[in-house]
Copies of this chain bind each other. A is one copy, B any other.
Amino acid sequence: MKNVPKSGLHSPLKSPERYRLYGDVAALMAQAMRDPAVEAYFTRLIQRVVPKSVIQAAGEVTTVRAWLESFAGDGVRQCARSFGVPGDRAGQISQGYRFPFGGVAIITPFNFPLEIPSIQMMSSLFMGNRPLVKVDEKVAVVMEQFVRLAIHCGMPAEDADYLYSNGKVCNEVLLAGNARMTLFTGSQAVAEHLVVDLKGRVKLEDAGFDWKIIGPDADPKLVDYVAWQCDQDAYAFSGQKCSAQSVMFVHKNWAEMGLVKKVEDLAARRTLRDLTCSPVLSWTNEKILAHIDNVLAIPGARLAFGGRPLAETEPEAAKVPSCYGAFQPTAVEVPIEQAIKEEHFGTWTEELFGPFQIIIRYGDEDLDKVLECCERMEAHLTAAVVSNDTYFVNKVLAATVNGTTYAGYLARTTGAPQNHWFGPSNDPRSAGIHTIEAIQLCWSGHREIIYDQGPMPAGWTTPTAS
């Protein structure tokens, strides 16, 4: 990291053949990952270290493959497009380039051991950086195998470092190596610490207390679909996604069609056995129970469903070590009048990284209160507005800021395919992932070169000083 120059390994003006090299690496990696054996290998490897279902684990692999495919061939160099604007005299033109930072770092968490570090590492390389990659040490083996595949497909081995360490050692390495930019995905507490240590040279994708607002235009033909999407958004991988639905504002028109009961029924299908109800890696049952009690203490709050350790309904859950959680998909309903109060707001908006959500019913007259809740939250990652009512959707979208917001009857909070931007908003430190715009934002900076090659202006003579 220390040895790479600030101008990086390549740029539009330096070793541009490396853009093509990485286009080839992307093509060959995608081709390799289309091989069913390779796909199955990574899927199982993810499952070895993270307790997610086959579908969820395989989803990481296919997303990464589709993403790599999209940058094959000349796709990488398209990320380094420059632009030019005519100048003030013959021979002058301003060219705006995207330049790398040089030595950079990537720190990612346990819940997506392949998807997040692989895409961010390749993104940083595409733009000419030399990354040090550090994945949560419990799951780091997955990314190690990806790095080996990349080298096999033509990535020069010396283009990146892969660090097995805890956070403390990593922190020291970043400071010693003078990381020009660090991409951090993980908890808000660590993020705030890193920002200060690294003097703001970071991009963050930290907390996500993600909301879904289900609008007034209830449609009986859609209620099963919406309920299924809610179950997936809140409880897939037991809610251990930064995009998981943390609160669902349900308009009375939908509530009266039995939406909440349908979500309950769907959640009840989940089992530890097939990992559709996963162990919870960062919250124990005790902590979860305590949080539920806190929320239930809000006047009028009531348990909608769930609320108990999973072992009470699925005995084999008792085998999950007590340092992890194993808990039923749970929802607590809170009245909007109480939710909005200063003294309760912090309680129910605490992010529980597990199978838990808040439900808030509202009517037409409550919409401004709902929007005020969204305004007062502190992280703005994903959101959903489930409605095809044009006025309603426009009003909600105009008043909110989440970086990845879905709108329409089929809206969701999770799912983030490789083809659209994923990241928080309303913060100059916001990171992004997936798209050309995200790659450019995180992994390059604007550099403007004004070519001014003359000839000398006709009839020029030395002017007076000024």
| Cross-chain contact A93 with B222 (CB below 8 angstroms) | no
Any B CB within 8 A of the CB of A89? yes
5 contacts between A and B (CB under 8 A): A82-B93, A91-B394, A99-B401, A222-B454, A428-B445
Check if A279 is an interface residue, CB within 8 A of chain B: no
Min distance, Cβ A192 to any Cβ of chain B, angstroms:
6
User: Which residues of the partner chain B approach A401 to less than 8 Å between Cβ atoms?
Assistant: 6-7, 99, 447
Please name the residue on chain B nearest to A403 by beta carbon. Answer: B447
Partner of A450, one of B78, B406, B437: B406
Given contacts A16-B87, A406-B452, A421-B448, 6 further A-B contacts (CB under 8 A): A14-B399, A31-B34, A94-B420, A195-B199, A390-B390, A432-B446
In the complex, identify which listed stretch (A39-47, A338-346, A358-366, A408-416) lies at the interface while the others stay far away: A408-416
Interface string of A50-70 (1 = CB under 8 A from B): 000111100000000011111
Partner pick for A196 among B199, B236, B435, CB 8 A cutoff: B199
| Nearest opposing residue in chain B for A271, CB measure | B465
Q: Are A448 and B390 in contact (CB under 8 A)?
A: no
Query: Which of B12, B89, B410, B423 touches A456 (beta carbons < 8 Å)?
Result: B410
> When the two chains form the complex, which single residue of B15, B72, B405 contacts A30, counting CB atoms closer than 8 Å?
B72
Name which of A145-153, A168-176, A225-233 contacts chain B. A225-233
- Tell me the complex Cα distance, A428–B105, Å: 13
Asked whether B75 lies within 8 Å of A75 as measured between CB atoms, the reply is yes
Complex-state Cα separation, A86 to B98, whole angstroms: 11
Cβ-based interface call for A302 (8 A): no
Q: What are the interface flags for A385-401 relative to B under an 8 Å C-beta threshold, 1 for contact and 0 otherwise?
A: 00010110010011111
Contact of A462 among B73, B74, B228, B436 (CB under 8 A): B228
A465 touching B276 in the complex, CB below 8 Å, given contacts A72-B69, A83-B82, A375-B5? yes
Contact A427 B180, CB 8 Å, known A390-B408, A410-B92, A410-B453: yes
Q: Give the chain B neighbours of A400 by CB distance below 8 A.
A: 7
Interface size on A (CB < 8 Å)? 135
Check B427–A30 contact: CB distance below 8 A. no
Chain B neighbourhood of A402, CB < 8 A:
447
One of A17-25, A114-122, A281-289, A318-326 contacting the partner: A17-25
Contact A460 B225 (CB under 8 A): yes
Is A187 on the interface with B (CB-CB < 8 A)?
no
Bound CA–CA A190/B117 (angstroms): 35
Given contacts A200-B200, A448-B404, A466-B232, contact A85 B391 (CB under 8 A): no
Cβ-defined contact, A7 with B72, below 8 A: no
Q: Write the A163-203 contact mask toward B (1 if CB under 8 angstroms, else 0).
A: 00000000000000000110000000000100110011111
Given A81-B85, A410-B452, also A466-B403 (CB < 8 A)? no
Q: Which residues of A (192-223) have their CB < 8 Å from a CB of B? A: 192, 195-196, 199-203, 221-222
A455 CB-CB contact with B under 8 Å: yes
CA distance A18 to B317 in the complex (A): 44
Task: Determine whether A27 belongs to the interface, using a CB cutoff of 8 Å to chain B.
Answer: yes
Contacts of A202 in B (CB 8 A): 200, 428
CB distance from A437 to the nearest CB of B (A): 6
Residue of B nearest to A419 (CB): B74
**Contact between chains at A420 and B85 (CB < 8 Å):** yes
Q: Does A96 contact B (CB under 8 A)?
A: yes
Q: How far is the CA of A224 from the CA of B313 in the complex (A)?
A: 61
**Least CB separation from A66: chain B residue:** B73
Do A426 and B77 have beta carbons less than 8 Å apart? no
The reply to whether B90 and A85 form a contact with Cβ atoms under 8 Å apart is no
Q: Tell me the nearest residue of chain B to A461, going by C-beta.
A: B224
Indicate if A304 sits at the interface (CB-CB under 8 A): no
Q: Closest chain B residue to A69 by CB distance?
A: B73
> B228 contacts A399, CB within 8 Å?
no
CB–CB B270/A465 < 8 A: yes
Judge whether A300 is part of the interface by a CB distance below 8 angstroms: no
Chain B residues near A453 (CB-CB < 8 A): 388, 390-391, 394, 407-410
Q: Is the CB of B410 within 8 A of A430?
A: no
CB distance from A45 to the nearest CB of B (A): 19
Give the distance in Å from the alpha carbon of A76 to the alpha carbon of B129 in the complex: 27
For the complex, what is the distance from the CA of A48 to the CA of B82, rounded to whole Å?
Answer: 42
Minimum C-beta distance from A6 to chain B (A): 5
